[in-house]
């Protein structure tokens, strides 16, 4: 029997019972569509998060005080358990390293702002003039901190958008004086709305020169140092140099942790990929159910078509031909279901994107292909048993059934 004839016969057999075939294709397509839509959701979440992180600036190397990993037991750990602080001098030293474009020291504390008779909690951020470029943020009004000596603290403040709105409303805050903690500071600029990153919104920030912040908090330590490398390729080298420099400055002790934006990104990427896979796995259960349905329907079909199978054998069909006919039918049903399901899945993802335009819910190619592959394999696997049963049917018994 020719392959094309096998396909034609199987197709006719399937279309000969439209209701059964339709229901089966529907079951299979729902399974595949579930895989496609859910992976689109998972992968969309991954892209969304990665996109958000990239917005912070992906050339960043971040220095935090203290080691975040242990290197086994070392007697020295017992004695020098307290890490040395990061200081402004450390930050200045890093700026001189080759491959470093800019740095921004960061000191953070909660404080309150008091102006025009209003009092509000806010986040105080001490940094330098380069911060705005390192973090790729924008000003709505006025200017940012001036580029002066790190140690010199002017009594100036840049307001976050939300703080400005709540304290000053629509009036121009530039040049006004606000009271932050126990200091009086002059407003020199306002940040644009919507800056994100490091787990907080920049709308709630009060940005002051780092020396001012240190004086206000009576401290000379830094919370973080942000280092921007000249290019993405240099991140690795810059990271190594930063670590070496700080270690040198801290009397040979490696008491800081240096992380890169890339590493953070990769971690998130990994977590969300696993999430997507998990979701795809759950959706794959519905595919397995559809596969069992294919088997069930094909078994019923074999029983219903007993006489036909007996006839085919009497007309000279080999067992192999009969087996092929039923296998091909099972596979045709599964694959048609999968193709319909992929179309439905893409439609579903498009609707999702229409509803949430910021959410990039595109089904990943691997999910589409594996959905198709799983359907094909389940058609083959679950088609085997009914096909074998058909091939083994005794033609005499089959034909004597009236």
Q: Give the nearest distance from C-beta 310 to other proteins in angstroms.
A: 8
Please say whether the dihedral angle defined by the alpha carbons of residues 159, 165, 167 and 173, taken in this order, is positive or negative. Answer: positive
Closer residue to other proteins (CB): 6 or 192 = 6
Stretch 11-40 residues interacting with other proteins (CB under 8 A): 12-13, 16
Question: In the 3-class helix/strand/coil scheme, how is 92-116 assigned residue by residue?
Answer: HHHHCCCCEEEEEEEEEEEEEEEEC
Q: Which stretch binds other proteins (CB under 8 A): 8-16, 38-46, 74-82, 240-248?
A: 8-16
CB of 26 to other proteins, least distance (A): 21
Mapped onto helix, strand or coil, the DSSP state of residue 64 is: strand
If 0-12 CB within 10 Å is exposed, 13-18 middle and 19+ buried, where does residue 247 land?
Answer: middle
The piece of 136-144, 185-193, 265-273, 318-326 that touches other proteins (CB under 8 A) is: 318-326
Out of 119, 140, 282, 320, name the contact with other proteins by CB under 8 A.
320
Largest CA distance in the chain: 104
Size of interface with other proteins, in residues (CB under 8 A): 26
Q: Answer yes or no whether residue 253 interacts with other proteins by CB under 8 A.
A: no
Indicate which single residue of 316, 354, 355, 357 sits in contact with other proteins (rule: CB under 8 A).
Answer: 316
319 binds other proteins (CB under 8 A): yes
CB of 308 to other proteins, least distance (A): 6
**Does residue 2 belong to the site contacting other proteins (CB under 8 A)?**
yes
Question: Any idea what DSSP says for residue 182?
Answer: T
Member of 140, 271, 314, 369 binding other proteins (CB under 8 A) = 314
Give yes or no for a contact between 135 and 144, defined as CB atoms under 8 angstroms apart. no
Using left for φ > 0, alpha for ψ between -120 and 50, and beta otherwise, residue 61 falls in: beta
Query: Other C-beta atoms within 10 Å of 371: how many?
Result: 26
Q: Do 231 and 59 meet the contact criterion of CB atoms below 8 Å apart?
A: yes
* Binder of other proteins out of 26, 311, 350, 381 (CB under 8 A): 311
Binding site for other proteins (CB under 8 A): 1-2, 5, 9, 12-13, 16, 307-308, 310-321, 395-396, 399-400, 402
């Amino acid at each position: 029997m020719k392959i094309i004839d096998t396909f034609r016969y199987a197709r006719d057999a399937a279309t000969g019972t439209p209701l059964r075939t339709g229901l089966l294709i529907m079951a299979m397509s729902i399974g595949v569509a579930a895989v496609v839509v859910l992976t689109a959701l998972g992968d969309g979440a991954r892209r969304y998060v990665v996109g958000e992180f990239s917005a912070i600036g992906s050339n960043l190397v971040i220095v935090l005080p203290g080691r975040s990993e242990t290197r086994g037991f070392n007697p020295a750990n017992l004695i020098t358990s307290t890490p040395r602080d990061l200081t402004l001098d450390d930050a200045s030293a890093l700026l001189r390293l080759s491959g470093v474009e800019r740095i921004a020291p960061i000191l953070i504390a909660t404080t309150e702002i008091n102006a025009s008779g209003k009092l509000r909690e806010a986040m105080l951020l001490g940094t330098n003039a380069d911060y705005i470029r390192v973090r790729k943020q924008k000003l709505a009004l006025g200017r940012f901190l001036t580029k002066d000596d790190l140690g010199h603290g002017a009594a100036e403040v840049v307001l976050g958008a939300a703080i400005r709105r709540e304290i000053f409303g629509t009036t121009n805050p530039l040049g006004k004086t606000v009271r932050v903690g126990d200091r009086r500071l002059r407003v020199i600029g306002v940040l644009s709305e919507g800056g994100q990153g490091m787990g907080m919104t920049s709308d709630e920030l009060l940005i002051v020169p780092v020396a001012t912040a240190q004086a206000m908090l009576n401290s000379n330590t830094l919370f973080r140092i942000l280092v921007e490398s000249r290019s993405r390729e240099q991140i690795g080298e810059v990271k190594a140099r930063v670590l070496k420099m700080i270690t040198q400055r801290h009397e040979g002790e490696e008491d800081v942790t240096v992380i890169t934006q890339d590493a953070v990104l990769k971690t998130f990427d990994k977590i969300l990929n696993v999430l997507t896979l998990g979701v795809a796995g759950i959706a794959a259960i519905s595919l397995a159910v559809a596969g069992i349905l294919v088997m069930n329907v094909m078994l019923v079909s074999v029983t219903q078509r007993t006489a036909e199978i007996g006839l085919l054998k009497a007309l000279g069909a080999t067992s192999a031909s009969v087996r092929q006919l039923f296998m091909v039918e099972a596979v045709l049903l599964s694959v048609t279901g999968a193709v319909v399901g992929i179309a439905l899945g893409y439609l579903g993802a498009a609707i999702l994107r229409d509803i949430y335009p910021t959410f990039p819910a595109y089904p990943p190619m691997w999910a589409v292909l594996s959905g198709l592959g799983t359907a094909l394999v389940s058609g083959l696997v679950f088609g085997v048993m009914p096909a074998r049963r058909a091939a083994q049917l005794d033609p005499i018994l089959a034909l004597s059934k009236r």
